[in-house]
Amino acid sequence: MDRSTEPTLGHEIKPADAVHHPEGGLLKLTLGAIGIVFGDIGTSPLYAFRETFAGHHTLVVDRPHIFGVLSLIFWSMMIVVTLKYVAILMRADNRGEGGSLALLALITRKLRGSRFTAGLVLLGVFACALFYGDSMITPAISVLSAVEGLAVVHASLQPLVIPIAVTILIGLFWIQRFGTSAVGTLFGPVVSVYFLTLAVLGGISISHDPSVLLALNPYHAFNFFRADFLHAFLALGSVVLAVTGAEALYADMGHFGRKPIAVGWIYLVLPALMLNYLGQGALLIAQPTAIASPFFMLAPDWFRLPLVILATFATIIASQAVISGAFSVTQQAMQLGFIPRLKTVHTSAAAVGQIYIPVINWLLMVMVILLVLMFRTSSNLASAYGIAVTGAMFIDTCLLAVVLFRLWRWNRFVAGGLLALFFLVDGAYFAANLTKVPDGGWFPLLIGGIAFTLLTTWGTGRRIVAERMRTTDDIQAFIQSAATSVGRVPGTAVFLSAAADGVPHALRHNIKHNKVLHDRNIIVTVLFERVPFVEDAVHAEIADLGASFSRIIFRYGFMQQMDVPRSLHRAEFCGIGLELDDVSFFLGRQTIIPTKLPGMALWRERLFALMVRSAETPMEFLKLPTSRVIELGSQVEI
């Protein structure tokens, strides 16, 4: 059996230090990054500025407050996105891959045995749990806010907003099974046109009142807090909507590389977003009643319907990126040992990262549609949005602190000053979003709590099972005894084992009940390392145990797809030479029996047993041929 379900993974892979580089020139990769990475943060102008003034904590629409909010948005983008993520955190890659789980894997691999490791693992798992809450709210608020533009075009279209939004969302989740490679080439150009449109509309509005550019001065943000601290603090809960999606820049780094994302942000996305926000501010200074929908009111009457269509396409693309991100995070969590095996479908023969996980897809669809039907408007959804994102950003800063002090060993004054700034900003945003809990912020916290419980229950349960099943039998003594006491049959037997030593339970049960050995017997263990990719040179480790027994350890990275038959076939160059049609695969299947033994609470043990029964079988997970698998069961008390 594989060890993908254990939180403590295999040995350090020293030779495989190569980064998994994306293919393509800088321009092509930058265009792709614009289409995929920036969709979430790029759709924020639809609702972020409006919610700061017209949300649940309203502000007076006047010049001082407009300047204060614009200053907060600009400096939030500079500190959180540009400095923290683009300039610093994206340098902390795990062999080219980014994201909370990849960063966690990097830290725990480098600091293995540290007394801080357990706490860091819990932080990383909680960040992963919060991501699921974010992945439900993002499609709902993005699509709904774009479709609400129909009511700006004509008030009579208001009743159609929710039905159209739900239809779009159902279609979006339905097409996931087919993959996105065919339409993916359109993402970059469409989103680029969208950003250029943001810039042009904002620039035209700014030309009517260029004084709005003065809002970039940080004095206006400080003055906002000095003059009205309570309202300024509450406004942070909506201002942060302007930087939601910043974590996606880091999480998707492996697809495009750091430089294309940085180029896209600095030269197109950041200028376009700020021009649009400043344009909305100039519009509100001249026309405060436009606060109902300042984004769409920037456009002249004849362009509002095309803008609604363009914005809807942009939100669909942003939602697609979040859904794909949920699949990717789930795969990483599976292979790092925090989620049960789930059916995973690869939708592209060329791109290993394009996957589809049916149960995650349909669960997300149900929850997203429920959110739309429950909250009804993007303004109501904005109350639920932000707390998961700010929580994840705060955790990223905690992990960054470990990187700066323990891995990079920066000057403590420089690192301390930067971290103080990041903790101040992230902490303020998180605290401000806690005020949203009664108005909807409870939803992502509830989802995050449920996901955290499931993740930690699975990880702890698998560790307990591994301890219960661990044997101290010497494999050499067992082989010598078995080789002289039972008969032989033709063919090759492959026994899957979770441990890289000892006697596999499937082998023990086969000798006990069938009382035969095959002419050739191979013990296979699959280990997932805390690196995204393992090079071919160290993928397979083969040892001859004598008496026609061999042991093979296959090592995979957490971004790689495992396929044991394929790996066995490739192992021929190591002298194995298998005919897979002549191979029988023996698996051990455990039935979990919850007890009052020391371990977990009884209710968590029962939950774990249910998760084990619901998980995809190792046969499917390891791509074993169904007609050549023999499963031998046992009961394990935990």
DSSP annotation string for 324-388: HHHHHHHHHHHHHTSS-----EE--SS-TT-EE-HHHHHHHHHHHHHHHHHH-SHHHHHHHSSHH
Residue 36 to residues 31, 33, 325, 423, Cα–Cα distance (Å):
9, 5, 10, 28
Same-domain status, 451 and 480: no
* pLDDT value for 220: 95
Query: Vertex 562, ends 559 and 565: CA angle to 5°?
Result: 160
Same-domain status, 597 and 626: yes
Q: Is the pLDDT of residue 348 over 60?
A: no
Q: Is the pLDDT of residue 547 over 50?
A: yes
Within a domain: 200 = no
CATH code of the domain covering residue 622: 3.40.50
Which pLDDT band, with edges at 50, 70 and 90, does 185 fall under?
A: low
Same-domain status, 387 and 524: no
Among 322, 314, 233, smallest CA distance to 272 is for: 314
Strand partners, 516: 487
- pLDDT tens, residue by residue, 467-508: 777 766 678 888 888 877 888 888 889 998 877 777 888 888
- pLDDT tens, residue by residue, 355-373: 788 999 999 999 999 999 9
Among 560, 131, 188, 456, smallest CA distance to 324 is for: 131
Within a domain: 143 = yes
Which pLDDT band, with edges at 50, 70 and 90, does 85 fall under?
A: very high
What average pLDDT does this structure show over 543-554?
A: 85
Q: DSSP letter for 624, please.
A: -
With H, G, I as helix, E, B as strand and everything else as coil, classify residue 401: helix
* pLDDT value for 37: 84
Work out the number of other CB atoms within 10 angstroms of the CB of residue 35. 26
Same-domain status, 444 and 557: no
| Helix (H) / strand (E) containing 527 | strand 516-529
Q: Is the pLDDT of residue 381 over 50?
A: yes
Strand partners, 154: none
* More reliable by pLDDT, 410 or 21: 410
Q: Is the pLDDT of residue 122 over 50?
A: yes
What is the rounded CA–CA span in Å between residue 561 and residue 340? 15
* pLDDT value for 15: 38
SS3 content of the chain, % helix, strand, coil (to 5): 65, 10, 25
CATH code of the domain covering residue 443: 1.20.1740
Parent domain of 477: 473-637
Within a domain: 230 = yes
- When mean pLDDT is compared over 24-33, 99-108, 331-340, 517-526, the highest value belongs to 517-526
Q: Using an 8 Å Cβ cutoff, are 127 and 148 in contact?
A: no
| Helix (H) / strand (E) containing 499 | none
Same-domain status, 406 and 492: no
How many domains in the chain?
2
Residue 267 to residues 245, 520, 533, 569, Cα–Cα distance (Å):
18, 61, 31, 48
* pLDDT value for 13: 43
Within a domain: 210 = no
Q: Is the pLDDT of residue 284 over 90?
A: yes
Work out the number of other CB atoms within 10 angstroms of the CB of residue 484. 8
The per-residue b/e assignment along 570-607, b for 16 or more CB within 10 angstroms, e otherwise, is: ebeeeebebeeeebbbbbbebebebeeeebbeeebbeb
Domain termination residue (choose one: 426, 458, 490): 458
* pLDDT value for 16: 40
Within a domain: 8 = no
Q: What residues contact 609, with CB distance under 8 A and at least 6 apart?
A: 592, 593, 594
Work out the number of other CB atoms within 10 angstroms of the CB of residue 309. 13
What is the rounded CA–CA span in Å between residue 42 and residue 52? 17
Same-domain status, 454 and 603: no
Among 571, 580, 551, 448, smallest CA distance to 127 is for: 448
Among 251, 244, 256, 250, smallest CA distance to 333 is for: 251
Q: Using an 8 Å Cβ cutoff, are 321 and 40 in contact?
A: yes
* pLDDT value for 336: 77
Same-domain status, 243 and 392: yes
Same-domain status, 359 and 426: yes
What is the rounded CA–CA span in Å between residue 620 and residue 356? 15
Q: What residues contact 419, with CB distance under 8 A and at least 6 apart?
A: 397, 400, 401, 404
Pseudo-torsion of CA 218, 221, 224, 229, nearest 10°? Answer: -130
* pLDDT value for 114: 64
Same-domain status, 77 and 175: yes
- pLDDT tens, residue by residue, 195-252: 999 999 999 999 999 999 999 999 999 999 999 899 999 999 899 999 988 887 887 7
How are strands ordered across the β-sheet holding 540-546?
540-546, 549-557, 516-529, 487-496, 583-593, 629-637
Within a domain: 179 = yes
Tokens found for residue 57 = 């904590």
* pLDDT value for 184: 56
Same-domain status, 69 and 144: yes
- pLDDT tens, residue by residue, 430-459: 999 998 888 888 888 898 899 999 988 998
- Scanning the structure block, which residue is given the tokens 């190569």? 18
| Helix (H) / strand (E) containing 210 | none
What is the rounded CA–CA span in Å between residue 122 and residue 244? 23
What average pLDDT does this structure show over 600-613?
A: 88
Residue 146 to residues 45, 132, 315, 366, 593, Cα–Cα distance (Å):
10, 22, 7, 20, 50
Within a domain: 15 = no
Q: Quick one: CA dihedral 270, 274, 276, 277, positive or negative?
A: positive
What average pLDDT does this structure show over 542-554?
A: 85
Same-domain status, 420 and 538: no
What is the rounded CA–CA span in Å between residue 380 and residue 374? 9
Within a domain: 208 = no
Tokens found for residue 76 = 């939030």
Domain termination residue (choose one: 428, 458, 488): 458
Domain termination residue (choose one: 391, 424, 458): 458
Q: What residues contact 617, with CB distance under 8 A and at least 6 apart?
A: 341, 587, 589
* pLDDT value for 546: 82
Same-domain status, 395 and 536: no
Q: Are strands 487-496 and 629-637 parallel, antiparallel or unpaired?
A: unpaired
Amino acid at site 195: F
